[in-house]
Structure 1
Amino acid sequence: MHPSPRRRRVLAALPVLLLTALLAPAASASPAAPETPEPARIVLVLDLSGSMNENDAGGRTRLAAAKQAVTRIIETAPEQAPLGLRVYGATYPGQDKKQGCADTQQVLPVAAMDRAARADAKKRVEGFTAAGFTPIGVYLREAAKDLGTTGNRRIVLVSDGEDTCAPPPPCDVARELKAQGVDLAVDVVGFRTPSSARTQLKCIADVTGGSYADAQDADSLTGNLGTLFRKGWRTYQATGKPVSGSLNGCQDAPLVAPGQYLDKFTGGRDLYYKVKKRTDQRLQVSATAVAEQGYGRGSMITVAAGPPGDGQPRAWLREFDQSMGWANVITTGGRSKPGSGNDEPAPDDTGCIIVENDVTKSGDKPMPVELLVGIADATTQQAGARTPEPRTGADAEGGFSFNSATPIGPGTHRQSIAVGEAPFWRVELKAGQKLTVKAGVDIPADFPHATTAGWGVTVYNAQREAAQCNTDHNLTELIRGRTGRIERVCGPWEITEGDDTKSSASKGYDVPGTYYIQAQVAEPGDKAKGVLVPISLTVDVSGTPRPGNGPVFFFGDDATQGKAPSAANGDGTQSGTGGATAAARDDGRSVGEIALWAGAGAGVLLLCGIAVRVLLRRRAA
């Protein structure tokens, strides 16, 4: 028997004072599993004043650019996320100030974006015209009324100029709302705004705890709006077919076929599942636990599988991942070794999967767990290759989970992200190819720095476990008051085909298939939450794919999206729930979706983005 090697994530030492400040409180605190919050109620307020007719937005009118950006928001809004739309300056083209300054309308009430609401909203946006005044203060009050008085609420404002109707001054209205105890934030995108208007709009965002971003053309407006809306809706989107693993061992466990499932950790209990696997088949099991605020130091998730019997099943595979700081995602996975001589047979070909829970403890709240199960055999080996079409431009904005990771190809991709966001991209790789990832961020001069702010990039392999970034083992770059361009480079790493002779030498790149890339500006303090920063992601794939037939894993029909079965991909590329779902747009329409958003530190960057991790492979005990 040849069990898979274990992989462990370990953090290198930080400076003593910083380490003491960060880790001492966590040593005695048990990691808390948060409740799943409801998606934020958001109302988008669009400036349709006469100046939006100017033709200076990248060769088109500002109005046309705004229509494109708003339509994109409507198309990508999760069905469960309540969204409303209000406009001002849209109907009165005259000069009467009293009448013009009352010109604001609720176009769409705040409601879930189901298919009918989405179609209606897009039709209404297409008919927008720009005509009149800019009553920013007036519409802030009205938009707050649109959202009601309870729950997580945000206003997202797009404006190209100063308020032309004061009083009331817009920033005073923002202070007024805060003074009334109204718990809502106002995010603002200044669209080709002059400096005087920018000061006014930034004040609105600052006093309400929102974010401000500039946009100069249609693409930057679309990107910045998308970032602001994602910040309110989710950070990691956990998806899968609902399942309840046994808490009492393999004998009571449900049988899982290839596919992705959504379960939860409760208390400190492990999860068990039955799985069918012959000795001529290979099994992949990946598990991802998701928290809102992060894990305590020492939290660990382990996946193992093997024939049921005495002790824990582990004869087929065992992999684990450990956090020594605060991570919002702990993920790991493994594959059984090829060939019947490497596998212990199971009675009736029915084995057992265990996801060991060293994350939550008794009394903790439930925590979402994704379980991905795949099988490779001669049947899947004959399936035709199917990979998603890479996206470019605004369509290449990162998604917010493994399943919604955006497919990209070689080249440079640009967007803005909010501090605390951790978007995902995916790229298909074959044995013999080399991957290099260069991620850059532009830190503005007015960035609210803290000692622990950092810029990081993480690469995950097709088993959904973190691979090493570079030879100095650093995943993050401490910002430490720096401004301007900061870059992190992972690779070049050659993709190999894993076997028994390789251990730590592969650094996690011994699994051909779908690789995931995640980038983040991590900042533990509230001051920087939501600050927008432009980033770039450059992916280079070189080398010649090695001839031969790698394992082809089938991850089931696309159950989480309710679509027809898809073909398994060649050379280890994932398909079905593991691949086709990953290629699907981040439209939030998955069965069992749980919308989670974090503060700073979302994603897998440990110690709020400042930790240094080393990946070690060890033989299972």
Structure 2
Amino acid sequence: MPTMVVLDSSGSMTTEDAGGQSRSDAAKEAANQFIDELSGTLDLGLVTYGGNTGETPEEYEAGCQEVTVVQGPTNGQAAQLKDHIEGLEPRGYTPIGESLRQAAAELPDGEAGTIVLVSDGIATCTPPPVCEVAEELADQGADLVINTVGFNVDEAAREELECIANAGNGTYADARDADTLVEELKRAVTRQAVGYDSEVELLNGGDTEETPVAIPEDVELFRAELPALDGPDAQSTMYWSIPVANYERLQVTTTYIDPVTIGFGKEYLAVNNKLGYIDGNMHNCHRGLTGDYIMDTNLARPLVASVESGVVGTECDVDELILTVERGEEYRWDEELPVEIVIKRLPHADVSGLPEGDQEREVPSLDPAVVDMWEQVNGGSWFSNAVELTPGEGVEAEIVQGENHYYKIPMATGQQMRGYAEMIENTSTEDAGVTDSLGVAVYSPTRQSASVDLWTDVPLREDEGQNFEAPVPLTYLNMFQPEGGFGSTSRANSVFTLEGDYYLVVHYSDASGSGTVDASQMQSAPVRYRLVADAYGDAQSGPVFDEISSESSAENTSESSSAAASPTDTDTEQTAASSEENSGISPMIMGTIVALIIAFAIFVAWMVLKGRKKQ
């Protein structure tokens, strides 16, 4: 959020009543600390007033124009701001109105912005009254917020600064020394929640199962707008066709693109994924009876539904599958529903030597006291711009209600995710309520999630954190039950299957159940948190996938169907034997047997003919 600080450097700032310092020295100390702490996390600008004229009547006109714009809101210019602040010499008048006007002019047109005014007295350059100036500026831009901080002010100045804040859709706070001033400066920096940021292709589906929209073979991610419903009890459906090869399985995940909301919804969102094929009628080709649903009222964190197909060529003998995405329930029923869809192709894999699935082990907690460093970052706003975490190093970030911050960490076979999160500062003017929630959710490289099992609540008390870890080490065999069927004994375990980047999503919201509010249209004070994570354990060799195209021939039948049917056998020969038990004799073996029978028949016939000739 672009922020302009307006700092008083008028003659009254020389008063020595700020904790053993002059108001000016205390303000300099607080401003420098504020800049140091927020540098790199905020587009910050500075306006100062006073400093170059006296307070005689002859200097009034010049003094009321004594406003200095040091810089507009930018990131990474801390040295320039601090140099100007250090050189301030307090003297002159208090042109608050003109300072507000010039600060507002530096904010980007058409965007939300914040002005933080620090003053120790009333405006001495009027008319117009400064409250009218604040109201005028707020009317020009509905997303402008003016917060004020009174620095050892008397009652008249407090009333004026409160009036400015009220007119500017902001809040007022008192400060008495450098420490309280820096705290109030941080509290006064508010912003709107930042949401979805992606530029993937829009590819809406067809209206009927007979007219699906074809998805090119190289497309792994696309965006869609599910149609609005005719009524809250209605349903809409889109269809896509996906080319497939023999012995592949598809994993498809639909992610609802949330418009950054606060609250716990009263209305349900339902999105159902299905995979199938047409043979006269539509036939299912997915694991489970009904595909996979998003069905939730907690609309704030990322909601996903992931469905997997059966094995192509054995369970579904087709060259394309139909992806069906159904939308229902009353949530935003009269609007289009934005989603992103991930397609992951899983060909036959050699799973010999892989660690077994569903294996629990003791994982030592991650001690934040031994973290090498805490880097101040802006958390990513979507999977596409997730911030990569470095093992052994932590991050600090500020989050406002309604936001999701996205991070990622690479994971290999045999490794187990662990992490630690804590709230370290609540900059709100109010304490966190009992319904406020800060949490961490985990998603796979294909955005699979078991949010109930993989959601960590973080205490909203400063310096009291929460450790978390994955339930099992990562292995491809977490995808399969020990007896050879599909799916782990735990849905959370089955998330830790594929090697790649795993996502941690930090979310802050009010789950009071009073309904949802669009957080992108409101200002709120940030909460600062810390997050650290790593992949515990040594990396091991993962599965080796075949390179199979849609033109693959039947010569791969034996080895491909073996792992698809029973991938938990870690020895290649055992896997092939398991396939014979589960799926019958393979075509290659059957062909060998037939050839032997024919050869034996020819040999018998030759022997019979030879015997007749001797007679």
User: Under a length normalisation based on structure 2, what TM-score does the superposition of the two structures give?
Assistant: 0.59
Q: Does 1:283 align with 2:258?
A: no
Q: Does 1:505 align with 2:505?
A: no
Give the Å deviation of 1:431: 2.6
Q: 1:461–1:467: 8 Å Cα contact kept in structure 2?
A: no
Secondary structure of 1:494 counterpart? coil
Structure 1 residues 182 and 47: alpha-carbon distance in aligned structure 2, compared to 1, 3 A threshold: closer
Tell me, in whole angstroms, the C-alpha distance in 1 between the residues paired with 2:306 and 2:166: 42
Amino acid aligned to 2:445: A
Give the Å deviation of 1:176: 3.9
Q: 2:46–2:81: 8 Å Cα contact kept in structure 1?
A: no
Give the Å deviation of 1:90: 8.5
Aligned to 1:566: none
Give the Å deviation of 1:284: 3.1
Q: 1:306–1:353: 8 Å Cα contact kept in structure 2?
A: yes
Give the Å deviation of 1:239: 4.0
Tell me, in whole angstroms, the C-alpha distance in 1 between the residues paired with 2:300 and 2:340: 16
- 1:337-394: CA deviation from partner (whole Å, max 9, x where unpaired): 6x666552323xx322222212568961222211222335589x9xxxxxxxxx9855
- 1:196-220: CA deviation from partner (whole Å, max 9, x where unpaired): 6998989866664447999x99xx9
Superposed, 1:101-500 pairs within 5 Å as 101-104=64-67, 135-143=95-103, 154-157=112-115, 162=120, 166-167=124-125, 172=131, 176-177=135-136, 183-186=142-145, 208-210=168-170, 228=190, 231=192, 234-256=194-216, 257-268=218-229, 269-292=236-259, 293=261, 296-309=266-279, 312=282, 314-316=284-286, 318-327=291-300, 329-336=302-309, 343-347=315-319, 350-358=320-328, 364-377=334-347, 396-410=377-391, 411-441=393-423, 442-443=425-426, 446-447=429-430, 450-468=433-451, 475-476=456-457, 484-496=462-474, 497=476, 498-500=478-480
Amino acid aligned to 1:333: S
Tell me, in whole angstroms, the C-alpha distance in 1 between the residues paired with 2:312 and 2:470: 34
Aligned to 1:611: none
Give the Å deviation of 1:538: 2.7
Secondary structure of 2:490 counterpart? helix
Could you say which structure has the greater relative contact order, defined with CA pairs below 8 angstroms and 6 or more residues apart?
1
Structure 1 residues 188 and 54: alpha-carbon distance in aligned structure 2, compared to 1, 3 A threshold: same
* Structure 2: gaps of 5 or more residues: 14-22, 230-235, 352-371, 482-486, 549-615
Give the Å deviation of 1:408: 0.8
Structure 1 residues 196 and 341: alpha-carbon distance in aligned structure 2, compared to 1, 3 A threshold: farther
Give the Å deviation of 1:546: 3.1
Tell me, in whole angstroms, the C-alpha distance in 2 between the residues paired with 1:57 and 1:104: 17
| Number of equivalences | 468
Structure 1 residues 396 and 312: alpha-carbon distance in aligned structure 2, compared to 1, 3 A threshold: farther
Structure 1 residues 91 and 333: alpha-carbon distance in aligned structure 2, compared to 1, 3 A threshold: farther
Amino acid aligned to 1:237: D
Structure 1 residues 341 and 543: alpha-carbon distance in aligned structure 2, compared to 1, 3 A threshold: farther
Q: 2:388–2:408: 8 Å Cα contact kept in structure 1?
A: yes
Structure 1 residues 477 and 544: alpha-carbon distance in aligned structure 2, compared to 1, 3 A threshold: closer
Amino acid aligned to 1:460: Y
Give the Å deviation of 1:490: 2.8
* Structure 1: gaps of 5 or more residues: 1-41, 75-84, 111-117, 382-390, 555-621
RMSD of the alignment, in Å? 5.4
Structure 1 residues 311 and 158: alpha-carbon distance in aligned structure 2, compared to 1, 3 A threshold: farther
Aligned to 1:536: 530
Structure 1 residues 364 and 176: alpha-carbon distance in aligned structure 2, compared to 1, 3 A threshold: same
Amino acid aligned to 2:448: E
Give the Å deviation of 1:406: 1.2
Structure of higher CA gyration radius: 2
Tell me, in whole angstroms, the C-alpha distance in 2 between the residues paired with 1:529 and 1:70: 20
Q: 2:258–2:302: 8 Å Cα contact kept in structure 1?
A: yes
Amino acid aligned to 1:278: A
User: Under a length normalisation based on structure 1, what TM-score does the superposition of the two structures give?
Assistant: 0.59
Structure 1 residues 534 and 548: alpha-carbon distance in aligned structure 2, compared to 1, 3 A threshold: closer
Q: 2:226–2:336: 8 Å Cα contact kept in structure 1?
A: yes
Percent sequence identity over aligned pairs: 16
Structure 1 residues 54 and 274: alpha-carbon distance in aligned structure 2, compared to 1, 3 A threshold: farther
